[in-house]
Structure 1
Amino acid sequence: MAYIKMWIFLNILSSLHYFITDVFPSACTPSDSGVTKITAFSGESVLLPCTCTNTQDKPKSFFWETKSRRASKDGIYIDIFSVFELYRNRITLFNQTSPGNVSLLLSDLTEDDQGSYVCLLEKTSRFIDVFIKKRIESTPLSETSLSVLISVPFLVIGGAAVIYCIHRAHKKARMETGKINVENNLDDHNSTYGILQRKYDAEEMYGTIGDRPKDQ
């Protein structure tokens, strides 16, 4: 008789449990589901979101799985914490301070981290596709390039100065050549004038001598 009473009592508790479970939802209601696409850059961090609507609610269970290049060689989902060595010092969870926030922060990304991730929270799955792009860093100017950039203006200015000096020298040479030619012309003119003058004086002197009276 006591055994029958115990059996009835356990069945009532079991029925009550299922009744409460159906009427009252789980303590953690996932805030979102479906597929999320995220693009990140190598060397940076990416936050894979997965939370309860109330971040202070404590989920009964959660799992993170992935089939990224790094973790899965067969293209099937694998528990990310079962290959934790591959992510050592690169994974951060927030559920210790906020139980309902089981988001995963993945740091120091590489191209091998690209792939699909899934958060299994309560009875809901949230899929996240992560695409990793290689960041192209600008190369700083080398000392040689910098010195070339600095020297170019001076070379231009120096070249202009040289051209100006050559132009002035040529101009001065032309002016001096012209002056010499003018002086030479003047000298030639003076010489010609002197010859003509001497000739004229000689002729006049000869004429004077020739015109003297014979009695003298």
Structure 2
Amino acid sequence: MPRKRRIVIILLICVSADCILENKRKTLYMTAHTGGSVLLPCYCTDLHTIPPRFTWKKYNTDTWEDISSESGQYRDRVQLVNGHSPRNLSLLLSHLTEEDGGLYMCKVKGGGYLDITLTLEGCTLKNSGRTLDITAYTGGSVLLPCYCTDLHNKPKRFTWKKYNSTRHKWEEISSESDQYRNRVQLVNGHSPGNLSLLISHLTEEDEGVHRCDVNESGYTDIRLIVKGNPPQSLPFVPFALVTVIFLHIIVAVVYHTKRNKDPARGHYSTADGGGVVSLE
């Protein structure tokens, strides 16, 4: 009888290992700017690992609190940024405030945790406590300068005020008020730390002391002097026109000078009938 062959099939089942965090049980230190964004990094060491469960927490007053885009502090400001890699558990925080500073934890079930200490740098006001003098003219515009020393920083809150010398109090400047309606505008370009104010269509009532007030870092005062219309300058004459006129004058002078010195020219006179006739 033919001998039967026994075929043994071995099935290899690959089971993905648990997510083991990079920098497990370590503390990372990061710095960000108020008003900006920051990416808190958290990764599994294995590129193909999908963590069964992970959470982001922040330490507040002796307790760890889960971070959620639905919570009051982080509403619509947090986002998981994993791209096409399931091992990327990083968290993006946007529109940062000083309250966002502190200790964060990325924790994976069975894979350990990672701590991140985030420090927020706020606005340190340039020329804090000083008074600047600026002169402008009625009908024109003026830029009242106010800057954070680091233009990437944006204060949580700041206001522009003008001192009312009649009422002896500071009044907030608003584009909705009667005096400044549609005449004031914040000019920051692409720098969140630029708090400068542009006032257009100036009037004599705009004269006085203006204050850029940043709650956490002081204020800068600007004494604005508004004068009448600036002195009229002489009308502008193009350089080419001046040159042409100057050359015409030179040619005329040379021509008349040569004409008077020409020896072939003279005066001849004759008397006829008591009259005098002069021929050139």
Report the TM-score when normalising by structure 2: 0.39
More strand by share: 2
More helix by share: 1
Report the TM-score when normalising by structure 1: 0.49
Larger RCO, structure (CA 8 Å, separation 6 or more): 1
